[in-house]
Structure 1
Amino acid sequence: MKKLLLNSTLLAITLSLSAVGGPISSPALAADTPAPAAVPPVDVDPALWVVKDADTTIYLFGTVHILKPGMGWFDEAVKDAFDKSDRLVLEIVEPDQATTQQLFAKYGLDQSGKTLTSKMTEEQKATYTKAMEKVGLPAAAFEPFDPWAAAVTMQVMGLQKGGYDVNSGVETQLTAAAKASKKPIGAVETMEQQLQIFDSLSQETQVKFLVESAAMVDQMTSSMDNMVTLWAKPDPDGLAQVMNQGLSDPKLHSALLTNRNANWAAWIKQQLEKPGTTFMAVGAGHLAGSTSVQHLLSAYGIEAQRVEY
């Protein structure tokens, strides 16, 4: 099973640009997404960890950036930890739409003028074009894109067709709750930093990712359903196994997970020197497996304890 490469930056860019008629504008993208039908909430209990010392507490909560409506995760220990916290810290705080468009133009579009499909073999091109048709996107409109950007847009649109809704995503709900309670919202990265990571991937790696995404377009929703089930159980070990299967390329794994997790572990160590309570919410894959943020914290002699609820 291949991992869906979704994070808050890429989701924000895809939806922001389509909403304002940016470089990825098309009838399929620009059309208003119908409001999902109301469904009875299903209680789920995703994993929560806590790191603390005498005067500092940091809760670590793994997020899913886009969910189907009706998952009741923001309650019990998670809501209690959020309410106790002085601030919310996410992967990024989204900039305004104009800045988002500028950053996408810089990092998501090919600066050499080389078209997207010219980077593929005929077989790869056929797989890609067929997948774009299935999710309702005009392949020709994506010729200026870098492969990673086309892949993520394909994934987002495919998941929306499968019933996923960004407004049900964890970050969206946490951000709304923080604003309502007037909690400060911070971030461990910027949108530009995240885009630089993807832009630095080799063309070969990007094309491989795009073609693999296209090849699994029919399984996209069921694959995401599986990862959400593991998140909701919760089963961090199972989620880590799925993530590792999807990130078999060592360079991709290091760039997207290990290196960033190491940076965030160092950030947490620094934050423990400051009093207060923080609710830190990052993609659930960063809190799973042998290269997780929690595991890397052990190098500093810091223990992250699982909150049982």
Structure 2
Amino acid sequence: MPARMHRIILILAGALLALPVVGSTPRAPQQAPPVPLLWKVSDADSHIYLLGSFHLLAKSDYPLSPDIDRAFDDAEALVFEVAPEDLNDPGVTPRMLALAASDPASSIARVMPANLKPALDRRLASLGLPSDRMASFEPWFVDTMLVTMLGQRSGYAPDDGLDRVLMARAQQAGKPASGLETVDQQLATLDGTPIAEQVASLREFVEEGDQAPAKLDELHAAWRNADVPALERLTREEMRDLTPVTYQRMVAERNRAWVPQLERLLAQGRGHDVLVVVGALHLLGEDGVVDQLRARGYRVERICTVCRPKATR
């Protein structure tokens, strides 16, 4: 199943959560909290928790697992991909729009194949995005807007994403929160991905047509059930194979940049335990933060009360 549409949802925290969209519409209540994608990484005298988030969620995805509640309570601080104050900067959205329109030669008006334009225009119109207003933007931004608007129509929204919810909870609890990178770094990385791969991703989204909502639901279900093999198949593996440069820049390189920062958190010692919340894709596979920290000799354990004893990864 194609996966490049789905990478946007799992990868982008700052860029996606900064978009000016409203909260999700109500969905049918769930029977149980989502199964957590939660790991505990320890050295001799301290530990950090790694929590895999989904940046578009529904109100019915709450409350969270008691495992997450306990990790939150245990942590003295939280770390996200982007610090809350950076994410909430009112200048983020204008900067994002300016960057997305900064290179007319890379706009969808110039780079989208002529045979795809009618279908793209219909897709944009169906989600309330006038094609004439989107024509000056680069494919990565249009792709992001389409996925975000599709999510909202399907009952998901950034405001209900795990990142936003835990940021608000940290503020209420008086716990400090910081970021591993800035929104501008995220945007620059995305803007620097190859135009050919941006176009391929946008083409795939357009050609999915009416199947897109069901695929979004499938990905959400995989996250909700902590189905690691399904998540890897739907995101990391196909993204790595089909858009290899984008995968390296958006996933592998960022993971490698985060690991030393996480090691510095561990080095703070007893009394400085931290809950780190990043897109689930960043925790999976051999390029993932979990395996990288395990390879560096830290003790790593999966925290999942409801899925014991099978949660051994």
Q: 5+ residue gaps in structure 1?
A: 19-32
SS at 1:188 equivalent: strand
Matched, 1:76 2:69: no
Cα offsets for 1:207-263 (capped at 9, x unmatched): 122221222242222112112211122212221111122442211111111111112
1:52 pairs with one of 30, 42, 63:
42
Q: Which residue of 1 aligns with 2:246?
A: 252
Deviates more, 1:156-165 or 1:64-73: 64-73
Cα offsets for 1:54-100 (capped at 9, x unmatched): 33210000001111221235231110010110111111123444320
Cα offsets for 1:89-148 (capped at 9, x unmatched): 111123444320342144222334664222122112223112112212111101221110
Q: Distance in 2 between matches of 1:67 and 1:105?
A: 24
Matched, 1:200 2:192: yes
2:15 pairs with one of 10, 13, 16:
10
Q: Which residue of 2 aligns with 1:22?
A: none
Deviates more, 1:185-194 or 1:3-12: 3-12
Task: Name the Cα RMSD after superposition.
Answer: 2.0
Q: Distance in 2 between matches of 1:220 and 1:214?
A: 9
Q: Which residue of 1 aligns with 2:144?
A: 152
1:232 pairs with one of 224, 227, 250:
224
Q: Which residue of 2 aligns with 1:262?
A: 256
Q: 5+ residue gaps in structure 2?
A: 306-313
Is the 2:24–2:156 Cα contact (8 Å) retained in structure 1? no
1:40 pairs with one of 29, 51, 68:
29
Is the 1:132–1:139 Cα contact (8 Å) retained in structure 2? yes
Amino acid at match of 2:164: T
Matched, 1:178 2:143: no
Q: Distance in 2 between matches of 1:69 and 1:193?
A: 29
Aligned length: 293
Amino acid at match of 1:270: R
Q: Which residue of 1 aligns with 2:295?
A: 299
Is the 1:269–1:300 Cα contact (8 Å) retained in structure 2? no
2:274 pairs with one of 263, 272, 278:
278
Distance 1:107 1:10, change over 3 A: same
Q: Distance in 2 between matches of 1:113 and 1:251?
A: 20
Distance 1:265 1:115, change over 3 A: closer
Distance 1:108 1:40, change over 3 A: same
Q: Which residue of 2 aligns with 1:28?
A: none
Distance 1:37 1:159, change over 3 A: closer
How far off its partner does 1:175 sit?
Answer: 0.9
Q: Which residue of 1 aligns with 2:284?
A: 288
Identity of aligned residues (%): 25
Deviates more, 1:176-185 or 1:257-266: 257-266
Q: Distance in 1 between matches of 2:157 and 2:106?
A: 33
Deviates more, 1:81-90 or 1:253-262: 253-262
